[in-house]
């Protein structure tokens, strides 16, 4: 499989669209915290396909990705039936890891509902251990990273949870 560097790199990547499902709603009448992660996980598929980590790549290279870390920010609630749209960007990568950022917007009202910062590893299916990505994929990721680096840095990146400002 030949991995090509795209001639047009959307900045940010316009991801998939979804609708908040009734099963995702909690006792507060809005989407439950766990389903934010579920829908981000569903939405990342199109971004990973764009990066070159699609099913054909995984099959031909005997590799996949595993999640290593995720940090979510819940900014505004969404409710059953709300349309969602996603944007993603590649923040960084090395031979074995991909650091990316994803945003969830209310598709008609336009507000940012949530964001997630993630780190994933490239893994050999045979050994179930991290493994270097092929050079052609690294070249594609370098081009995408350069395009996405022109975007403003989201305040959420590297955000630390702290209770320092809380009043007692």
Query: What's the CATH superfamily of 13-148?
Result: Hotdog Thioesterase (3.10.129.10)
Burial of 58 per CB tally in 10 Å (0-12, 13-18, 19+): middle
Question: With bands split at pLDDT 50, 70 and 90, how would you rate the model's confidence at 143?
Answer: very high
Domain spans, the chain: 13-148
Q: Is the dihedral of CA 95, 89, 55, 34 positive or negative?
A: positive
The pLDDT of residue 7 is 87
pLDDT score of 164 more than 80: no
Q: With contact defined as beta carbons under 8 Å apart, do 40 and 72 qualify?
A: yes
Kindly report, residue by residue over 43-74, the tens digit of the pLDDT.
999 999 999 999 999 999 999 999 999 999 99
pLDDT score of 165 more than 70: no
pLDDT score of 41 more than 60: yes
């Amino acid at each position: 499989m030949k991995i090509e560097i795209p001639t047009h790199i959307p900045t940010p990547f316009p991801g998939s669209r979804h609708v908040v499902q009734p099963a995702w709603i909690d006792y507060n009448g809005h989407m439950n915290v766990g389903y934010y992660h579920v829908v981000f996980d569903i939405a990342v598929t199109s971004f990973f396909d764009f990066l070159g980590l699609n099913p054909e790549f995984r099959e031909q290279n005997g590799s996949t990705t595993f999640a290593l870390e995720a940090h979510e920010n819940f900014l505004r609630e969404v409710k059953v039936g709300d349309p969602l749209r996603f944007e993603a960007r590649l923040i960084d990568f090395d031979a074995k890891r991909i650091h990316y950022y994803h945003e969830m917007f209310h598709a008609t009202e336009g507000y940012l509902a949530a964001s997630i910062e993630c780190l994933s590893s490239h893994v050999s299916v045979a050994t179930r251990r991290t493994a270097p990505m092929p050079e052609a994929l690294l070249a594609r990721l370098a081009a995408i990273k350069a395009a996405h680096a022109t975007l403003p840095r989201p305040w959420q990146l590297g955000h630390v949870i702290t209770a320092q400002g809380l009043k007692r």
